[in-house]
Amino acid sequence: MSVDETARNKANVEALRRLNEGTPVLTGVKPAGEVLPGMQPNKVLTSGWPMPWQDYSGGQRRSLIYGAMYEGLAASEEEAADKFATGDVLIGACHDHGCVGSVAGIYTASMPVFVVENTAFGNTGYCNFYEGGSPRRLNYGVYDDEVRDQLIFIEKVIAPVIGAAVERSGGIPLKPLMQRAVHMGDELHSRNTAGTVLFHRELIPHLLPLYSGMAGPVEETDRFLKENEYFFLRLSMASAKSMADAARDIEHSSMMTAMTISCNGFAIRVSGLGDEWFAGPPPVVEAQLFEGYTQDDIHWIGGESHITETVGLGGFAQAAAFALQRYQGGSAEAMAATNTKMYDITLGENSTFQIPFLGYRGTPTGVDIFKVLETGITPAIDAGVAGKDGGQIGAGTLRAPIECFKAAAAAFETRYC
């Protein structure tokens, strides 16, 4: 028997509508432990599908250990490893806790997260904060005094100021900022320059009245936002998570609703196939590496920032962001070609995110797993790349592996035939 095409098409129309109509609004900044569904004081969240402790290796394993140490759940790497093994410290998958991980994506209970409500559908997405410009960051599998101090600075200075400003604002609608950022050279995954400046500007009227009571922190926050053009990524990710989640669990829909990377490979989730992850090998990568690194240094320690591609941004909006060439290599022609190819595997065009270079055509949005299989074209993903010894070592375009789509299609046929 074959899949019911009519039911699938109808379901996919609905899934795309939900992706398109999502309306992310930043409503607060809160500790992860207070707001993430299912979060616990002794839990560390990481990217990837849920796995037992023994399945984590290399940099992602180290990142989990570092997270436990940062949170004070263990005093040493050995103690942390023991506690993960015994279950005294728990591991959670970001996607199961309403959030998405950037690279290793470490969340602990005390870390501040953005609370982004999808007001059109009533669900919420979360993301933790960008750590700063150093290539040595916890989410890239590095931990030392400097990394810890920076995380504390984010928690004690940046997050409270932005939280207070957001509270004063009554909520900051992010979709208009994202739309405009795409007209200003961002694809909101690997380029967030315009998004960051526009968000910064949005805060001004709420920062001004805070200044007399907390001049130092407000000035530091202003400086941090100015120095970190990647800042908006986490708002883009939380927004995308909130939009993608609203398109989940539509019976008969073959639209992809999430992608994830762990130390063990790549996986996708499909709207009509519930919570199941369909795994494959790690992505193929074409990256521009920072000086001194080679392809052999690339190391997979997790990643879920490509929730942006899932909603029609990132690699699906490269032709809006030619400035990215400098960061991740390639040429304008190649970027336009990569971007345009994505129309072949998507259900439609985004009604909000448009590409001026393509005559304001909406970005290709809503990957259909069957279109991927028919064309052999897999999603293009803009991403940062981690190194063997931790830290960011470059950036480039990843390609999702076809195996995930094959596995998902098989499950789809089993379920709906």
Site of interaction with a copy of itself (CB under 8 A): 180, 183-185, 193-194, 197-198, 200-201, 204-205, 207-209, 211-212, 215, 218-219, 222-223, 226, 322-326, 331-332, 356-360
Q: For residues 145 and 333, which CB has a smaller minimum distance to a copy of itself in the complex?
A: 333
State the nearest-atom distance from the C-beta of 323 to a copy of itself, in Å: 4
- For residue 246, the Cα-to-chain-centroid distance in whole angstroms is 16
Extract the tokens encoding 246: 């609203």
Q: For residues 156 and 223, which CB has a smaller minimum distance to a copy of itself in the complex?
A: 223
Q: For residues 28 and 185, which CB has a smaller minimum distance to a copy of itself in the complex?
A: 185
Distance CA 300, CA 315 (A): 19
3-state SS, residue 3: coil
Q: For residues 217 and 384, which CB has a smaller minimum distance to a copy of itself in the complex?
A: 217
State the nearest-atom distance from the C-beta of 153 to a copy of itself, in Å: 18
The full DSSP string for 85-102 is HHTSSEEEEGGGGTB--S
State the nearest-atom distance from the C-beta of 355 to a copy of itself, in Å: 8
Q: For residues 4 and 226, which CB has a smaller minimum distance to a copy of itself in the complex?
A: 226
Specify the DSSP element, H or E, that contains 118: strand 112-118
Distance CA 51, CA 240 (A): 24
State the nearest-atom distance from the C-beta of 290 to a copy of itself, in Å: 18
3-state SS, residue 359: coil
Give all strands (DSSP E) within 171-215, no chain letters. 172-173
**CB 239, CB 7: distance < 8 Å:** no
Distance CA 326, CA 329 (A): 6
State the nearest-atom distance from the C-beta of 356 to a copy of itself, in Å: 4
State the nearest-atom distance from the C-beta of 236 to a copy of itself, in Å: 16
Q: For residues 310 and 397, which CB has a smaller minimum distance to a copy of itself in the complex?
A: 397
**CB 350, CB 367: distance < 8 Å:** no
Q: For residues 89 and 395, which CB has a smaller minimum distance to a copy of itself in the complex?
A: 395
**Cβ neighbours of residue 27 closer than 8 Å, sequence gap 6 or more:** 115, 116, 117, 166, 171
State the nearest-atom distance from the C-beta of 200 to a copy of itself, in Å: 6
Q: Which of 77, 145, 68 is nearest to 111 (CA)?
A: 68
Q: For residues 146 and 211, which CB has a smaller minimum distance to a copy of itself in the complex?
A: 211
State the nearest-atom distance from the C-beta of 208 to a copy of itself, in Å: 5
Virtual CA dihedral for 78, 282, 286, 143, nearest 10 degrees? -10
